[in-house]
Amino acid sequence: MNESHLDLEHFRHSLHALREQLRGLGAAGEAAAQTVELDQTRVGRLSRMDALQAQAMSQATNRRRMKTLRGVESALVRIDRGDFGECQDCGEMISLGRLEFDPTVTVCISCAESREA
């Protein structure tokens, strides 16, 4: 498969849509990750523990969202540069199915498996 077989506009559109979705989720996620008030006169101990757990989960979600957003931006740069779909390790083309599943992916399945080994 070479670049001419990739519908770059399809991927560009998908990546732009994903970027907007992630940005939209950011405002709600940031509010949930705010500092938890520890005033024992206003909130019970279990409620504070629940709030702290919810805060930690929200912060982790925000970190994953930001990582995905960086991947989207990087994929858009690769489209503009002309090397979208090329494995960054071996230089072979990444399978279309893999790119459809995750257009931010940067390595082919063989190289991904090698990295995990």
Q: Is 111 a domain residue?
A: no
Q: Is 90 a domain residue?
A: no
Q: Is 29 a domain residue?
A: yes
Helix axes 8-32, 45-81, angle to 10 degrees: 160
> What SS3 state is found at 93?
strand
b/e 46-72 (16+ beta carbons within 10 angstroms → b) = eebeebeeeeeebeeebeebeebbebb
Q: Structural domain of residue 13, as residue ranges?
A: 3-83
pLDDT in tens, 23-71: 988 766 555 555 555 555 555 667 778 888 888 998 899 999 999 999 9
| pLDDT score for 55 | 85
Does the pTM of the predicted model rise above 0.85? no
Where do we find the tokens 């498996």?
113
State the average pLDDT for the chain. Answer: 86
| pLDDT score for 13 | 97
pLDDT bracket for residue 3 (50, 70, 90): very low
Q: Is 31 a domain residue?
A: yes
The number of domains in the chain is 1
